[in-house]
Chains A and B, each alone.
Chain A
Amino acid sequence: MRYNEKELQALSRQPAEMAAELGMRGPKKGSVVKRRLVKLVVNFLFYFRTDEAEPIGALLLEHCRVTREEPSGFCISFVDTERKYHFECCSEEQCQEWIEALRRASYEFMRRSLIFYRNEIQKMTGKDPLEQFGISEEARFQLSSLKA
């Protein structure tokens, strides 16, 4: 699949929601843990060799599941394949922080949050808060757009 790699590289240089050096183990059988600089930018997780400016790779974080892994790590797995990416943190707190951030880091999560808030505000005020943005008619923000 073709993709605009230059833009993805530019994105990897943007300010990150979360960035840290973590242990990372890829999905291939027999892969070992390597130290990587891991950076969360919008719905992408970039990973770099610790001394390099360009990322080795990126993970799009849609339709993925983030689970705890003892002792203080987490695993990102994708719904459609069995590929699992394992990460090791240096503390419980760091681990918890990352898990929470990653669970919120998808466009789909944002969309559901928006629909939720819109609904709540509409119930409280009788007004649609999206009208001020001029996006109240967009299909992607209707309740019926939620994934079946």
Chain B
Amino acid sequence: MKLNERSLAFYATCDAPVDNAGFLYKKGGRHATYHRRWFVLRGNMLFYFEDPASREPVGVIILEGCTVELVEAAEEFAFAVRFAGARERTYVLAAESQAAMEGWVKALSRASFDYLRLVVRELEQQLAAMRAGGCPPPPRQPHALLPKENGCAVWSTELPATPMVTNAGAQPGPELPPLPPCRRTSTPSGPLDMASFAQLHEWYGQEIRALRGQWLKSRAQP
């Protein structure tokens, strides 16, 4: 099967924060020897590299439809990523500490797109229910505050024209913070479509504040 591997490699190595990363021992297929590799979890993809400085992954394990479990193995802190189906492969991995193992098992068992989609749908419903007229979220939770009428002035229910801010090649100069990414390439649709301008302003503002915080921190380092 053809796969857009270049774009896969880009996803593996692009600048965005990763969901988990660290050294793991991976059991090779037939040979039963463990190889120490640098693993990077991003989204529902578990990439592995020779080492943290490698430009391209050795491989990737696509994590849809897998289960993650502890295993009995000669190696300490071992766990397995298992796929359903009779002749499917099981990946046996080993961490370097108990804490690392637990972290990985947790991260990998919730890494699937399916899982994330479930959570998003649940939140979407909760928010819609709240907006529709103060219905509290699922009964298990303690009584939620009745939502007040949005609280912000509704300027317009339409998306404002997305600002054409681009990460142009020429950097203006070392003292200026990095520009926010070009909005065009990832025009949000769905939840953000229904937000008021003030909400969007606040929403994008938070991202800017976070970025600025990161930039200030990076400047503070020698």
Which chain A residues numbered 1 to 33 have a C-beta less than 8 Å away from chain B? 1-11, 14
Q: Is the CB of B15 within 8 A of A100?
A: no
Q: A60-B8, A64-B7, A110-B113 are in contact. Are A3 and B62 (CB under 8 A)?
A: yes
Interface size (A, Cβ < 8 Å)?
65
Q: Which residues of A contact B126 (CB under 8 A)?
A: 117, 121, 129
Q: Which residues of B contact A132 (CB under 8 A)?
A: 138, 140-141
B151 CB to nearest A CB, Å:
8
Q: Is the CB of A58 within 8 A of B130?
A: no
Q: Kindly state whether residue B186 has any CB partner on chain A within 8 Å.
A: yes
Q: Kindly state whether residue B19 has any CB partner on chain A within 8 Å.
A: yes
Contact flags (1/0) for B138-161 with A, using CB distance below 8 Å? 101110110100000000000000
B153 CB to nearest A CB, Å:
15
Q: Is the CB of B43 within 8 A of A62?
A: yes
Cβ-Cβ contact count across A and B, 8 Å cutoff: 206
Interface size (B, Cβ < 8 Å)?
75
Q: Is the CB of B113 within 8 A of A107?
A: yes
Q: A8-B62, A121-B127 are in contact. Are A42 and B211 (CB under 8 A)?
A: no
Binds A, one of B72-80, B117-125, B168-176: B117-125
Contact flags (1/0) for B210-222 with A, using CB distance below 8 Å? 1101100000000
Which chain A residues numbered 56 to 74 have a C-beta less than 8 Å away from chain B? 56-60, 62-65
B122 CB to nearest A CB, Å:
8
Q: Kindly state whether residue B4 has any CB partner on chain A within 8 Å.
A: yes
Q: Which residues of B contact A6 (CB under 8 A)?
A: 83, 85, 87-89
- 15 CB-based A-B contacts, threshold 8 Å: A1-B8, A3-B62, A7-B83, A10-B85, A14-B64, A58-B1, A63-B7, A63-B11, A83-B4, A83-B6, A114-B120, A120-B127, A124-B127, A126-B145, A135-B119
A residues with a Cβ closer than 8 A to B are 1-11, 14, 42-43, 54-60, 62-65, 78-81, 83, 100, 103-104, 107-114, 116-121, 124-127, 129-130, 132-133, 135, 138-140, 143-148
B residues with a Cβ closer than 8 A to A are 1-11, 14-17, 19, 43-45, 56-62, 64-66, 83-85, 87-89, 107, 110, 112-114, 116-117, 119-120, 123-124, 126-127, 130, 137-138, 140-142, 144-145, 147, 178, 181, 185-192, 199, 203, 206-207, 210-211, 213-214
